Structure 1
Amino acid sequence: METQKWIDAGYNFIIEFGPKVIGAILIWIIGSWVIKMLLKGATKAMNKGNYDESLKKFLVNLINWILKILLIIVVLSTVGVETTSFAAIIAAAGLAIGLALQGSLANFAGGVLIMIFKPIKIGDLIEAQGEIGVVKEIEIFTTKLIGLSNKEIIIPNGSLSNGNIVNYTTQGTRRVDLVFGVSYDADIKQTKDVFSKVLAAHPLILKDPAPTIALSELADSSINFVVRPWCKTEDYWTVYFEVTESVKEALDAAGIEIPYPHQVEIHKEA
C-alpha cells in the first residue's frame, strides 16, 4: 500500500512537472543556440567596426553573461520557481556594486567611448590632462603614455574622455613656433633674410605650407620675431633644436646682436 502511494505520488509529480521540465530543457537548448548566434553576429559587427581587441572580448563576455542570466531566469520561471525576489536581489546587488564602483565605472565608460570613437590610437603623440606623450596602450580603465623623457604616464579613461585632447599625430605635420629677439639696431630686412636662409637650408622643413617670419613685438630690450616653420610630426624636436642653434650661428655671422636685458643701477649719495 505504501509502495502504491509512492508510485501515485511520483506519477502525479511527473504529470504536473514533467511538461514544465521538458519545456525548461527545450527553452535552455533553444535559448543557448540563440545566444550563440547573437554573440556571433555581435562579433562580426565589431570586427567590421575595427573595435579594439580587448574591448571586443569584454563586450562579448558582458553580452554573454547578461543573456545567460536572463535565460536562467526564464528557465526557472518555466518550472514554477518564483523569480520576482531573485530579480530584485540581482537589481539590488547591481545597484550596490554600481555605487561602490562609480569611479571605476566612469573610467570603464570612458574607455569604451575612446575605443569606439577612437580620438586617439596607439602611437599617437597627444597632450591631455597636463601631460604630453606617445600612446602606448589603451585599456578598459586607463590609457598609458610614454612621456618625452621616457617616463610612463597612466591617465584614467574617465578624465581622458571628459577632458581636452590635443592629438599632434593625426594631421601628419606640425608647426614649430620659435621666437628670436635681436637688437633695436638690427636691420629688419637683413634679419628676416638670415632667418629665411636658415629655414631654406634645413632638410626637414617643409616647403608647403611655407614658413612664417614676422616681427611680433617691440620688447624692452629687443625686437622679437616669430619664426614658424612646418615639419613632419616625428621631426618636431629635431627641427626645434637644430633651427635654434643654426639661427644663433647665422645671427653671429651676420653681426646681428642678440641682446640681453639691461639693468641700470642708480646710487644716491647721502
Structure 2
Amino acid sequence: MITLINEYLKNPVISGLVITSIVLVACIILSKVVRKVLDRYFDKAVEVLKGDPTNYNFFKNGVTFVIFLIGTIVVFRSIPGLRSIGNTLVASAGILAAIVGFASQQAFANIVGGVFIVIFKPFRVGDVIKVGTENPGTVEDITLRHTIINSLENRRIVIPNSIISSATILNSTITDEKVCIFFEIGVSYSANLDKVIAILQKEAMQHPLFIDNRTPEDKEAGTPAVVVRTIAWNESAITLRASIWTNSSLDGFILKCDMFKSVKEAFESNGVEIPYPYRNVIIKQGNMLEPEVS
C-alpha cells in the first residue's frame, strides 16, 4: 500500500495537487483559528478599552490575506514545475509588474482606500452613514476590498473602498448621535400663526422620542424646546419649519412620520387648513358679443 502511494506521489501532477490541497486546507484552518483567537481578544479589548472595532476588523482581514499569501508562496516553492515558472516570471519581473499593476489597479485602489478609512476614520463600524446618493444605513464591516452597509430596509449595500474614499459621506454618528430634524408644513394665509406654532410645539414635545437639547443659557433666555419659524410665503400657503431634536437618525425618522399624522389630526380638530393649490376662474359675460338675428 505504501509502495503504491509512493508510486503515485512520484507523478509530478499528483504530488502537486496533494501539496496544494494540504497547503490550502492548512491555510483555511489556520486563518479560522487565528480569527477566532483575535475575535476573543479584540472583543475584550473593545469592552475594556472602549476601542474602535473598525481597526480590529480590518486587521483580521489583513492577517487572513497574509496567511493565504504565504500559502501561495509555499505552493510555488514546493512544486518543482511551479518553481521553474516562478523563476521565469522573476526573470521578466518588469513586464510582470506592469501587467499585474494594470490588471489589479482597482483592487489595489480598494485596499489603499480601506487603509485610509482605518487611518483617517471618516466612519467606523456601527456608524449611520450615507455615501453619495445611496440610501443611509449602518456600517457592518470594512474589508480589504469593500465596505458593507446595512440599509434601513435591512438590505446590504456593498461599496468598493475606492468609491467611498472619493465620495461625499454623510455621517450622523461620528461625534454626536443626536440629530435635529426639520418638520415643514404649509398652512393657509387665513390661519392664526401663533395657534399653529403652539400646535406644532405641543405635538413634537409630547412625542416619546423627543429630547430637549437646550443649554442652560437657552433655557434662561426663554428659548423654546421646539423652535418654529416661518420660512416662506408660497403661492397658496405659508410654510413653517419646526426644529425637533432626537437621540438618533432612526428616532428622527420615526418621530417625523408620526408627526405627519398627529399634526394633521390636531389641525383638523382646531380648524387649521392645510391648503392645496387651486385657481379661481372668473368668467366675464359683459363683453360677450350678442348673436345676430336675421
Are 1:108 and 2:106 matched, yes or no? Answer: no
Question: Kindly tell me: are residues 196 and 91 of structure 1, through their superposed partners in 2, closer, same or farther at Cα, counting changes over 3 Å?
Answer: same
Partner residue of 2:178? 173
- Give unpaired runs (5+ residues) of structure 2: 1-37, 74-87, 215-224, 290-294
CA deviations over 1:127-181 (Å, ceiling 9, x no partner): 1031122212211111111222222211111010111111112311111111111
Length, aligned pairs only: 210
Partner residue of 2:160? 156
What TM-score, normalized by structure 1, do the two folds share? 0.67
CA deviations over 1:211-257 (Å, ceiling 9, x no partner): 32100110111101011101011412211111221111111121111
Partner residue of 1:186? 191
How far 1:55 moved relative to its partner?
Answer: 3.1
For the residue of structure 2 that corresponds to 1:177, the secondary structure is strand
Partner residue of 1:253? 269
Is this contact kept in 2: 1:120–1:167, CA < 8 A? yes
CA deviations over 1:42-91 (Å, ceiling 9, x no partner): x9xx999962334355269659979xx9xxxxxxxxxxxxxxx9866334
Residue 279 (structure 2) aligned to one of 254, 260, 263 = 263
For the residue of structure 2 that corresponds to 1:229, the secondary structure is strand
Residue 231 (structure 1) aligned to one of 240, 246, 261 = 246
Is this contact kept in 2: 1:180–1:225, CA < 8 A? yes
Aligned mates of 1:88, 1:250 — CA distance in 2: 81
For the residue of structure 1 that corresponds to 2:92, the secondary structure is helix
Q: Which amino acid aligns with 1:122?
A: V
Aligned mates of 2:235, 2:61 — CA distance in 1: 61
Question: Kindly tell me: are residues 256 and 190 of structure 1, through their superposed partners in 2, closer, same or farther at Cα, counting changes over 3 Å?
Answer: same
For the residue of structure 2 that corresponds to 1:135, the secondary structure is strand
Is this contact kept in 2: 1:176–1:228, CA < 8 A? yes
Are 1:211 and 2:214 matched, yes or no? Answer: no
For the residue of structure 1 that corresponds to 2:158, the secondary structure is strand
Is this contact kept in 2: 1:55–1:115, CA < 8 A? no
Residue 140 (structure 1) aligned to one of 144, 163, 167 = 144
Are 1:118 and 2:133 matched, yes or no? Answer: no
CA RMSD of aligned residues (A): 3.1
Aligned mates of 1:232, 1:166 — CA distance in 2: 17
Question: Kindly tell me: are residues 168 and 144 of structure 1, through their superposed partners in 2, closer, same or farther at Cα, counting changes over 3 Å?
Answer: same
For the residue of structure 1 that corresponds to 2:130, the secondary structure is strand
Residue 55 (structure 1) aligned to one of 36, 59, 76 = 59
What TM-score, normalized by structure 2, do the two folds share? 0.62
Question: Kindly tell me: are residues 61 and 198 of structure 1, through their superposed partners in 2, closer, same or farther at Cα, counting changes over 3 Å?
Answer: closer
For the residue of structure 1 that corresponds to 2:129, the secondary structure is strand
How far 1:263 moved relative to its partner?
Answer: 2.7
Partner residue of 2:97? 94
Give the greater-gyration-radius structure (CA): 1
Q: Which amino acid aligns with 1:179?
A: E
Is this contact kept in 1: 2:131–2:170, CA < 8 A? yes
